[in-house]
Amino acid sequence: MTANSYARSIELPTERIFRNLKHARRFAIDIGGSLAKLSYCSTVSRRTSKVFDEPEQDDGSHIYNISETDEVIVRLHFVKFETKYIETCLDFIQGNLIQSKDFMKDKCIKATGGGAYKYKDLITSKLGVQVDKEDEMDCLISGCNFLLKNIPDESFGYQRHGSPDYKFQGVSTDIFPYLLVNIGSGVSLIKVESENKFERIGGTSTGGGTFWGLGSLLTEAKSFDELVELAERGDHRSVDMLVKDIYGGAYTSIGLPGDIIASSFGKAARSPKDKSPKSFKEEDLARSLLLSISNDIGQIAYLHAKIHNLKKIYFGGYFIRGHPMTMHTITFAINYWSKKEIQALFLRHEGYLGAIGAFLKGEEEEDTERYSWGEHYAGSSGLVSPKQKNFDIAMSRSSPFDHLEIDRLERPLLPCTLLLDVNSYYPDTVDLTKDAEAREYWLECFSQGAEKSKLQAIKSQPSSPDAVERAEKFKSRYLDRLSVLKTNPCCFGSLNVRTLLDTSSQFLSELEFTDPFSQQKQFENEQALKSLESHLKHLDSLSWDDRQLALAKGLLAGNVFDWGAMEVRKIMETQDFGFADAQDKLQERPWLFDDFDLWKARLSRSPPHKCAAIFCDNSGADIILGVIPLTRELLSRGTNVILCANSRPTLNDVTFSELQLITKHVAAISGEINQALTEGRLLVMESGQGSPCLNLRLIDQSLVDTIKTMETDLIIIEGMGRAIHTNFHAAFSCDCLKVAVIKNRWLANRFGGDMFNVMFKYERARRVSASKAS
């Protein structure tokens, strides 16, 4: 095949298509007949803030020092494009990656898909690498397992005209067994029992190729996507013979409704007596053909799932590719044949399964199981809206390229063992894909807040010559994303306040604003430490009853200092606002959610808890004047304490590295804290999170192990993001205290309260029901 036979009709915008390509270290490619998927691993270097103990100046004016340092993360990139552009893409890689003739010498690229054979020579000649072909089915399963285990909301059910259309399944630690139905030209049904055990248990030659082939004979459609679009507009009832066409209505004695298809294309049949051919609309023929093939695939899939006792069926392949019409017909077929006992499930990134699997083959020596992985929303394309009328996968976005980026987290993350039932745990309180009023409010709220985030980013880097330019890019890109989510809420999985906050942090980090509040946090920590000694003396002067209430109010007052709450931010920017002022802002008792008396009764009448895990929120007054005094009180009762702080910075939340240094200074003030640190009764640990919210499905493995080892029987979650936006409904197998000040008027009104109303929820340990335990 000559070079001229490949399409070269596309210009590649370098930094937005193959991002971080110059730092790529390993490649894999999945080449299909229509679409190719290139995967590569790159290192992403960016400037970030680091806190450390030795001040650069000798005057000791700061409790810790902040400096800029380089941070390197590992990121997986997956780029999907039409196969006809493959030579142009290889030319681009050659020109932007290969630094010398010897750069790619002895290197290998993993390849799968039918094109691994067809384009082998082209890849070798362009890049000078060996092509190592991997088994397509093996790669498919490896990629599917990886996504189901690591990417939240990867799988979803589809309900046409639902509210919402997509119902996401979250992430589960128990993904096996399942049935994967891969619908390409033909159909393969694969039973997957474990990471390395799977078998093809069935299939059919009637698949996507059949639909495309017969559709080409029956219509003038020029492409697969055009044929699906044609079917979307059609009415199969003019072509198909229904039960009511035969019996005049439903055949009730055998349970057949009248509108069920009795014979696909039945009305197109002609007897010898018919002198003139019947005329059918192309769109009706396409609709009938799509339903016929989908119904057969659905029945075959259901029967195999039934035979092998499989409860989960995932559908993927070129036939699906996020097409609302094909997902609808497959879903209908599974619902009908299984009587809604089994749900048809689809994958947000099903087009990347082979590429991910091929890449993982090349990464086996690096042991990918040692790490956890997270979707990088700021660099990924989302699902196309099902309400988009002209549904063309290649042209549905501004570019014919589709992206997925996944970041490697250096430490494994596991579910918190204190959850009552991890499989039913859903962290987010409100699903914005379902609640239109809340969605409209929060999208507008974050849109209005983008300007403040931009200004804070600029303020955090006063000596950087390009800070303003980068901050403007952040605002533009984040507002663009919010605009996309406004029209297509399901674009990146479940939409909630947590993902909106996390996406903002990702866009900031992309533009090297990894910790915009670092100096503000340092200032507030230093100011709070100056007040700690007198605050502790005041608490010690109180009676036991009065001290418990003062500790609760102190925890709440500290929580007011939240730079992520816009209305509080306005107060702190325009007023001299201190800890006493925050206490005065608090709602008088009885609070909006008031279990304080139950909490005090538990402390006075029962034995002390063995260990408390406290998930901390903000820096400054929150951690030092709110959490630390409560920690000291629990320690005095004989309860061990684990202070859990974010691993990565976000807003003004305290981080693990900051909290380590803060507790060192606190220990110099409080003998009880110092002794507990020395004895190992007080631990500071990282949560594995980098969000103002808290997803207890994914916390640091070391923290999970320590929670077990120390027999933790009390969990305290503080802050609006961690205890209201997330975990408001979370159930635990141990005692739980959820504490927050509601610092958003709209949200407070939704709860039937007002600004600065208080949530102090104490919940006793629950037991797993017998049905769930079994």
Q: Which residue has the tokens 């408001």?
A: 728
Residue 12 has pLDDT above 50, yes or no: no
Q: What's the average model confidence in pLDDT over 692-710?
A: 97
Residue 9 has pLDDT above 50, yes or no: no
In one letter, which amino acid is 703? Answer: L
Instruction: Count the residues in the chain.
Output: 774
Residue 152 has pLDDT above 50, yes or no: yes
Q: What's the average model confidence in pLDDT over 186-191?
A: 96
DSSP string, 171-211: --S---SEEEEEESSSEEEEEE-SSS-EEEEEEES-SHHHH
35 - beta bridge partners? Answer: 82
> What confidence tens digit (pLDDT) does each residue in 107-133 have?
789 999 989 989 999 999 888 888 999
Percent of the chain beyond pLDDT 70?
A: 91
Radius of gyration of the chain (CA): 29
375 three-class SS: strand
Residue 100 has pLDDT above 70, yes or no: no
In one letter, which amino acid is 283? Answer: E
pLDDT of residue 600: 97
Are 626 and 481 in contact by the 8 Å Cβ rule? The answer is no
Q: Which helix (H) or strand (E) holds 261?
A: strand 261-263
Question: 7 or 218: whose pLDDT is higher?
Answer: 218
Residue 13 has pLDDT above 60, yes or no: no
DSSP string, 90-151: HHHHHHHH--STTTTTT-EEEEESTHHHHTHHHHHHHH--EEEE--HHHHHHHHHHHHHHHS
pLDDT of residue 270: 73
Residue 101 has pLDDT above 60, yes or no: no
> What confidence tens digit (pLDDT) does each residue in 230-256 have?
999 999 999 999 999 999 999 999 989
> What confidence tens digit (pLDDT) does each residue in 743-752 have?
999 999 999 9
Are 496 and 430 in contact by the 8 Å Cβ rule? The answer is yes
pLDDT of residue 82: 85
Percent of the chain beyond pLDDT 90?
A: 74
pLDDT of residue 61: 78
Give the integer Cα–Cα distance in Å for 44 and 50: 17
**Residue partners of 711: CB distance under 8 A and separation at least 6:** 610, 611
Q: Any idea which of 78-87, 500-509, 754-763 has the lowest mean pLDDT?
A: 78-87
Are 725 and 561 in contact by the 8 Å Cβ rule? The answer is no
Residue 6 has pLDDT above 60, yes or no: no
Q: Which helix (H) or strand (E) holds 700?
A: strand 699-700
Q: What's the average model confidence in pLDDT over 403-421?
A: 93
Residue 513 has pLDDT above 80, yes or no: yes
pLDDT of residue 108: 86
Q: Which helix (H) or strand (E) holds 344?
A: strand 343-347
Angle (CA) 488 492 494, round 5°: 90
115 - beta bridge partners? Answer: none
Give the integer Cα–Cα distance in Å for 485 and 460: 28
Beta strands in 371-471 (DSSP E): 372-375, 402-409, 413-414
Q: Any idea which of 194-208, 249-263, 372-386 has the lowest mean pLDDT?
A: 372-386
pLDDT of residue 49: 86
Average pLDDT of the chain? 90
Question: 386 or 574: whose pLDDT is higher?
Answer: 574
**Residue partners of 340: CB distance under 8 A and separation at least 6:** none
pTM: 0.91
Q: Which of 157, 169, 326 is nearest to 232 (CA)?
A: 326
Residue 393 has pLDDT above 50, yes or no: no
> What confidence tens digit (pLDDT) does each residue in 514-543 have?
999 999 999 999 999 999 999 999 999 999
pLDDT of residue 399: 54
Q: What's the average model confidence in pLDDT over 686-713?
A: 97
Q: What's the average model confidence in pLDDT over 684-691?
A: 97
In one letter, which amino acid is 538? Answer: H
pLDDT of residue 106: 67
582 three-class SS: helix
> What confidence tens digit (pLDDT) does each residue in 309-344 have?
999 999 999 899 888 889 999 999 999 999 999 999
Q: Which helix (H) or strand (E) holds 520?
A: helix 518-540
Cis check: omega of the bond before 692, within 30 degrees of 0: no
Residue 770 has pLDDT above 70, yes or no: no
> What confidence tens digit (pLDDT) does each residue in 196-234 have?
999 999 999 999 999 999 999 999 999 888 999 999 999
Q: What's the average model confidence in pLDDT over 647-652?
A: 96
Are 381 and 402 in contact by the 8 Å Cβ rule? The answer is yes
> What confidence tens digit (pLDDT) does each residue in 32-42 have?
888 899 999 99
pLDDT of residue 48: 86
Residue 396 has pLDDT above 70, yes or no: no
Q: Which residue has the tokens 């110059």?
A: 22
Q: Based on the number of CB atoms within 10 Å of its own CB, is 751 exposed (0-12), middle (13-18) or buried (19 or more)?
A: middle
718 - beta bridge partners? Answer: 739
Give the integer Cα–Cα distance in Å for 471 and 450: 10
Q: How confident is the model at residue 53 (pLDDT cuts 50, 70, 90)?
A: confident
Q: What's the average model confidence in pLDDT over 550-565?
A: 96
Give the integer Cα–Cα distance in Å for 451 and 541: 46
Q: What's the average model confidence in pLDDT over 570-583?
A: 92
Q: How confident is the model at residue 469 (pLDDT cuts 50, 70, 90)?
A: very high
Two tokens, residue 411: 């430490």
